[in-house]
A and B are shown apart, each in its own frame.
Chain A
Amino acid sequence: MSGDFNDVIRDSINGSRRAQRILYNTLAGKMFGLCLRYAHDETEARDILQDGFVKVFKNLEQFRFQGSFEGWVRKIMVNTALEHFRKESYQTASIEDVDFQDPGVGEKVLSGLSEKELLQMIRDLSPQYRVVFNLYAIEGYSHKEISQMLNISEGTSKSNLSRARNILKEKIKRLNKTG
């Protein structure tokens, strides 16, 4: 992290709206991309983004200038997304998610998909699958950590991930057939 950017953070801590705007502009795009992965639609993603940035600015003085600022903000965004997930009480598995046969996905098929299509696939997952897939496959948390974060068992976390993957593969396979 550059010294200049640290100065922007310090100014933001001191309440400078201009500095806060710079911080927001620097990270808003990536964070909104993150929020879109956790949210069901853009409205929810915007709410998560706004709640998350409010937390960022209100807790900015707790940032210790050690490690990545973006990583720190990302963590807050993930936590905020999880709070939204809990508020919505997505605690039961969706009926649509019956056992799928592993369809197998070819490299060509995946590489041919756009970010928008991949994002839409994740957003179409039921909330509990979406959140586990995001935390495990994209953020890199372990099943143990996820089980604590979501207050579910490790087995449930693994099962949700497996089902999420199968649903995604099935969708990709369908796209392949129709394409």
Chain B
Amino acid sequence: MIGQEMERNEKHIDEVFRERLSDLNVTPPANAWDVIEKRVHRRKTIPLYIPRLVAASLLLFVLTGSLWLIFLRKPSDKGLAGQPVFSTQPGEKVTSHRQPARIIPQNSTAGTITQVVKPLPPQKQKEEKISVCKPGFILPVEKNRKNQEEAVAVTPSSMPENFSLAFLLPKNEVVLFGEKDVTHMLEGKLPVPEKQPDILPLSPVLKNQPVKKGTWGIGGDFGPVYAYRHLAESSPILSAYLNKSENGIISFAGNFSFFYKGTKRLSVQSGLGYYRLGQEVNDVIAFRMIKSGQLAILESKGNEFIHVSEGKLGYSGTPVFVANRKSPGGIDQVEFLLTRLGTGIYEPVDVQLKQDLEFVEIPLLLRYSIIDRTLGLSVIGGMGTSFLVKGQTSLISDKGTTFIGDMYELQKTNVNGTFGLGFSYKLSPSMQFRIEPTLKYYLNPVYKSPDISTHPYSIGIFSGMSFYF
């Protein structure tokens, strides 16, 4: 009797609260809608690290540019191109410690400039070149050792004999004019060649002009990547299972780079990169409540029923309970888990997991130019340090994508190796368009698990531009 009374009493109290409170209507705070409206309609927030990356990149750019301006730029680069640097009166004797440059007149029906001597400091005479040019165009001449001694550094004290006027062109090259040329120019005529050329002019070098040694440059590229991972030193059963249940994804990456061209063919590259890697995990089930359609959730941090190769699944988001349909050993888990959850209450649902790993990278790469022409080809190789900025897992079901939580037991700092080919097209002497298929492989395992050694990799085709100063 007492038990029945108690049960009645309990049901009674439940009913009273249900009847009086289930549809309780209370006016919410006045500003609640404003907050909701703002949150619903606000644009996607930019992750906090993106502005920091941009700021860091800008800072790096400004610092590099400033250093270049202060220490590396030569006075002759500062906008003197086309200006006469000095001149002598016709007939005036000019003293030179060296022989004047060999005259290499250009055969040109258009009537062009007579000759050019490229001045170089004495220590660089071995790499001397003599060029023939017309104003604004520089024609390269193959390296000729005989010319070494004929090159002169054109300074006011070393104006070669028979020349009256010198113009400084970009890239430290000088156009020299003889008396006759100057007379012609003063009369408004084009200079007339004095002799037939003994070296045929090559094609204009506007496109073929070699980039000067010691050149700095900046660039950016972006492209799609295929991201997946390689399993090494793992148990064969686990590896076989994970290789069967996981797939690579198409993602994207981008780089902001600066270059230093140390020699004609070799340059060093660094900067900042952003790589979004990851994978898809199939053969996964979640459990849906038959009555309400709600997915079963799990509160504990670890989940022994799901195995993925890129970290351990945590539940910082919506903790949907997921499991491999089959265990790595090949045992079907569905019935077992349904029994635990409550047969008849839950049903299994096929879902997919998507793992996203986001890295910020500082690379150090070497580029070796195999072909340095309008269409160029380089080999790229080097290493980089990658910092994990995000590692998370989402569940993809027929109801959309649900963020489950961050991955843990992932290495925050990683080292990778890069190898690629660089195809370039020179749009101008200082600007290149680049397409670069690149492979990046993480040299250390990113997952701290002792059972598995996971090395992410990406294969990307990047396109971008570079500018040389």
Contact = CB atoms under 8 A, between A and B. Distances in A.
B17 interface: yes
Given A50-B39, A145-B291, A151-B299, A105 B9 contact: yes
Interface in A23-61: 24, 28-34, 36-37, 42, 46, 49-50, 53-54, 57-59
B40 A20 contact: yes
B12 A32 contact: no
Interface in B25-78: 25-29, 32-33, 35-37, 39-41
A36 B318 CA distance: 22
B32 A49 contact: yes
B294 A50 contact: no
A105 B319 CA distance: 39
Given A58-B40, A104-B9, A118 B17 contact: yes
Given A105-B12, A137-B14, A36 B24 contact: yes
A117 to B, nearest CB: 10
A149 to B, nearest CB: 6
Given A29-B26, A83-B318, A148-B296, A24 B17 contact: no
Interface string B268-299: 00000000000000000000010110101111
Interface in A114-150: 115, 118-119, 122, 133, 136-140, 144-145, 148-150
Given A79-B294, A138-B21, A151-B299, A36 B26 contact: yes
Nearest to A29: B25
Contacts of B10: 165
A107 interface: yes
Contacts of B345: 144-145, 148
Contacts of B18: 137-138, 140
A110 B19 CA distance: 12
Interface in B275-331: 289, 291-292, 294, 296-300, 318-319
A168 interface: yes
A28 B32 contact: yes
Interface residues of A, number: 53
A174 interface: no
Nearest to A59: B400
B110 interface: no
A76 to B, nearest CB: 10
A49 B291 CA distance: 25
Contacts of B32: 28, 32, 46, 49-50
Contacts of B13: 105, 110, 137, 165, 168-169
A37 B29 CA distance: 16
Nearest to B31: A46
Interface in B1-27: 5-6, 9-10, 12-14, 16-18, 20-27
Contacts of A140: 18
B292 A145 contact: yes
A30 B25 contact: yes
Given A137-B18, A138-B17, A33 B24 contact: yes
Nearest to B22: A138
Interface centre among B23, B25, B36, B299 (most CB of A within 10 A): B36
A32 B27 contact: yes
A118 to B, nearest CB: 5
Contacts of B20: 115, 118
A125 B402 CA distance: 32
Contact of B12 (A37, A107, A133): A107
A62 B399 contact: yes
Nearest to A142: B345
A127 B41 CA distance: 33
B304 to A, nearest CB: 14
A119 B292 contact: no
A11 interface: no
B17 A137 contact: yes
Contacts of A115: 20-21, 24
A110 B22 CA distance: 16
B141 interface: no
A90 to B, nearest CB: 11
B185 interface: no
Contacts of A169: 9, 13
A119 B346 CA distance: 32
Contacts of B12: 105, 107, 110
A150 B310 CA distance: 27
A17 B41 contact: yes
A57 B400 contact: no
A110 B16 contact: yes
Contacts of B23: 30, 33
Contacts of A42: 29
B21 A119 contact: yes
Given A33-B26, A59-B400, A62-B400, 9 more contacts: A20-B37, A30-B23, A32-B28, A33-B21, A42-B29, A86-B299, A145-B345, A148-B341, A151-B300
14 contacts: A20-B37, A21-B37, A30-B23, A33-B21, A33-B23, A50-B35, A58-B40, A104-B9, A145-B291, A148-B342, A149-B294, A149-B297, A151-B297, A151-B319
Interface of A: 15, 17, 20-21, 24, 28-34, 36-37, 42, 46, 49-50, 53-54, 57-59, 62, 75, 79, 83, 86, 102, 104-105, 107, 110-111, 115, 118-119, 122, 133, 136-140, 144-145, 148-151, 165, 168-169
The 7 A-B pairs at the shortest CB distance, nearest first, are namely A151-B299, A33-B24, A137-B14, A29-B25, A32-B28, A57-B40, A33-B26
